[in-house]
Structure 1
């Protein structure tokens, strides 16, 4: 797959682009263990982040929202990663699956759970995880949430968690759409269950 936008390296960036780059490559995402590489060998940003540099006004807001969703919500790490992988599976986003399968494994997701998620299902025993996964599945399957679906989620999850999950789904759908439009996939040589499933059809 040939990307439709040039991969910008640090020396090519104007000040607005550099601010976005630094927010991604030197912000919260760069702290601690790196489960997937944010940058390529030439310093260009991988995945949706490289796209954001081409529109730094929107890119700055997007990367800040993404950082907030990843690091500053009321969701546990497992709940967050289950939800992100649900979006990746539903949208067929190879990069989202490739990146967040790694983060999910580090958060304790098992091979069985990852297989379930790759097939569009999740059968956890934890009530918060199950309620979150069901709520996200509703959001991904329909543009509305029925009173019954909402009541089931609200019986287990706080209002803040419901808001966090709703925004998470919208954000990762946006990233998936950006990568589809601009032909951004996983780094060369990588393959994902979602990618294999999508190319088999």
Structure 2
């Protein structure tokens, strides 16, 4: 029987730029300012339990990190939207920004929440999913239109309000915007993420 230690999962570079060096790695606690330690402790004490992903670069601005964390905690854990819709929209934002961290985290969460694997695969491949539930199709239409057109048509808006209500529409658009924001922060910082068994990372779209 082998006693060799299992190697940790390989890191996947963030984004598709020629240089993939992590620009803003997690700083040691002793190097943090009092404000940074306070912000880190607040994240650790909350539902996330650790400083990881976008909160590593956001720690450079501890007050911003705390406010971003509060917004994200509401949208992820307290929103009126069903978890299936939240995770579906998060996958759309991750694919739109080519962000590996959020994709590898939320693609399996979407499936666990009830989104079909074929739907998640289509989003990851940049294809239009087929055969979705009606509310998923409405959420996808709104998410795509907001990302591509920075607004939405009257028809898409009417369908979204009918399906989710005005509060749900505001929260869905805010969720997409939140995840685009944190994905951008990680893309600029080139925050790496670990490979996850059984979850394929995003591929670069053809130029």
TM range (shorter): 0.7 to 0.9
The structure, 1 or 2, with the larger RCO (C-alpha pairs under 8 Å, 6+ apart) is: 2
Counterparts of 1:178 and 1:163 in 2: how far apart (Å)?
23
Closer/same/farther in 2, CA of residues 199 and 157 from structure 1, 3 Å limit = closer
Pick from 15, 27, 37 the counterpart of residue 18 of structure 1. Answer: 37
* CA drift at 1:198: 1.1
Pick from 69, 72, 75 the counterpart of residue 66 of structure 1. Answer: 72
Q: TM-score when scaled to structure 1?
A: 0.83
Q: TM-score when scaled to structure 2?
A: 0.80
Is residue 78 from structure 1 mapped to residue 97 from structure 2 by the alignment? Answer: no
Deviations 1:146-191 (A, max 9, x none): 222212222222101100011111111101110111111312x559
Closer/same/farther in 2, CA of residues 200 and 162 from structure 1, 3 Å limit = same
Bigger radius of gyration among the two: 2
Is residue 161 from structure 1 mapped to residue 168 from structure 2 by the alignment? Answer: yes
Structure 1, gaps ≥5 residues long: 31-37, 39-44
Deviations 1:108-157 (A, max 9, x none): 33321221221333335422222111111111111121222212222222
Is residue 57 from structure 1 mapped to residue 63 from structure 2 by the alignment? Answer: yes
Pick from 130, 142, 149 the counterpart of residue 142 of structure 1. Answer: 149
- Number of residues of Structure 1 aligned to a counterpart in Structure 2: 186
* Aligned twin of 2:14: none
Counterparts of 2:110 and 2:96 in 1: how far apart (Å)?
17
Counterparts of 2:135 and 2:205 in 1: how far apart (Å)?
33
Stretch moving more, 158-167 or 106-115 = 106-115
Q: What is the CA RMSD across the aligned residues, in angstroms?
A: 2.1
Is residue 182 from structure 1 mapped to residue 189 from structure 2 by the alignment? Answer: yes
Is residue 110 from structure 1 mapped to residue 116 from structure 2 by the alignment? Answer: yes
Closer/same/farther in 2, CA of residues 102 and 144 from structure 1, 3 Å limit = same
Pick from 14, 23, 34 the counterpart of residue 4 of structure 1. Answer: 23
Counterparts of 2:139 and 2:53 in 1: how far apart (Å)?
26
